[in-house]
């Protein structure tokens, strides 16, 4: 076993020496190999899955050892190296605005779908969607969390409502009525109705 390890190390050292002495040929060889890998990655789904799994496993191993995902030593005060942060920033600036616009549009569509289902404000009848919010009947919104214990709100809440077929434990309220019920326990509109009924 030791002999095999020594032989492998000798071969690796020879390869490194050849690459140092022939940088141009090494660059051409790397380019050709990269093109072959890319072509196979695009055409062979099984190879693609293996690459993704290996890459993910390598990334997790590196992070477990306190390194950046790429294997380099992270910069002080960061979990990643400068190169990876720069790459992530370039990707964000290239695709971030388009992604953000798509998410805003998707959130708007889901919100409209949810508010169309629940209708105008349950308390005062306000129908302008800009004023409407989703209320958890009985005040269980603070306990409405996902598997990680994170509170479900915004786009995640609209998606959850649609996926769960618009549960009856929710309703739409305008911002004023929602705030009054949340912080005072009862809306002034309801107080006025109760007072009127008592008379």
DSSP element (H, E) containing 72: none
Q: Which residue's structure tokens are 């969607």?
A: 129
What confidence category does residue 103 fall into, taking pLDDT thresholds of 50, 70 and 90?
confident
CA–CA separation, 45 and 2 (whole Å): 37
Least confident range of 18-27, 72-81, 92-101: 92-101
Percentage of the chain beyond pLDDT 70 is 93
Of 133, 123, 136, whose CA–CA distance to 192 is shortest? 123
Model pLDDT for residues 140-163, shown as the tens digit of each residue: 877 888 887 888 888 889 999 999
Q: Give me the pLDDT at residue 117, please.
A: 92
CA distance 141 to 149: 13
**DSSP H/E element including 27:** helix 23-43
* Assigned domain for 125 exists: yes
Q: Residue 164's domain spans which residues?
A: 96-194
pLDDT band at 4 (very low <50, low <70, confident <90, very high): low
Is 23 part of a structural domain of the chain?
no
What span, in angstroms and rounded, lies between the C-alpha atoms of 23 and 19? 6
Chain segment 36-82, per-residue pLDDT in tens: 988 988 888 888 888 888 888 888 888 888 888 888 888 888 888 88
Domain count, the chain: 1
φ/ψ region of 14 (left if φ > 0, alpha if ψ in -120 to 50, else beta) reads: alpha
* Alpha carbon separation from 38 to 14, 22, 50, 160 (Å, rounded): 27, 24, 13, 38
Helix 155-163 × helix 82-118 angle, to 10°: 50
Q: Where are the alpha helices (DSSP H) in 44-172?
A: 45-64, 82-118, 155-163
Instruction: For residue 18, tell me if it sits in a domain.
Output: no
- Domain contains 49: no
């Amino acid at each position: 076993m030791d002999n095999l390890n020594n032989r492998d190390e000798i071969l690796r050292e020879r390869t490194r020496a050849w690459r140092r002495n022939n940088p141009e040929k090494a660059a051409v060889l790397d380019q050709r190999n990269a093109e072959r890998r890319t072509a196979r990655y695009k055409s062979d789904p099984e190879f693609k899955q293996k690459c993704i799994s290996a890459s993910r496993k390598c990334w997790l191993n590196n992070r477990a050892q306190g390194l950046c995902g790429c294997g380099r030593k992270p910069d002080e005060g960061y979990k990643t190296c400068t190169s990876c942060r720069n790459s992530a920033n370039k990707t964000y600036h290239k695709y971030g605005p388009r992604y953000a616009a798509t998410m805003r549009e998707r959130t708007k569509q889901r919100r409209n779908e949810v508010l169309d289902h629940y209708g105008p404000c349950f308390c005062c009848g306000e129908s302008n969607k800009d004023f409407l919010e989703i209320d958890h009947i009985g005040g269980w919104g603070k306990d409405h969390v996902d598997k990680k214990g994170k509170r479900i709100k915004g786009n995640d809440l609209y998606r959850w409502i649609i996926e769960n077929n618009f549960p009856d434990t929710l309703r739409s309220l305008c911002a004023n009525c929602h705030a009054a019920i949340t912080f005072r326990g009862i809306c002034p509109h309801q107080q006025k109705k109760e007072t009127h009924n008592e008379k």
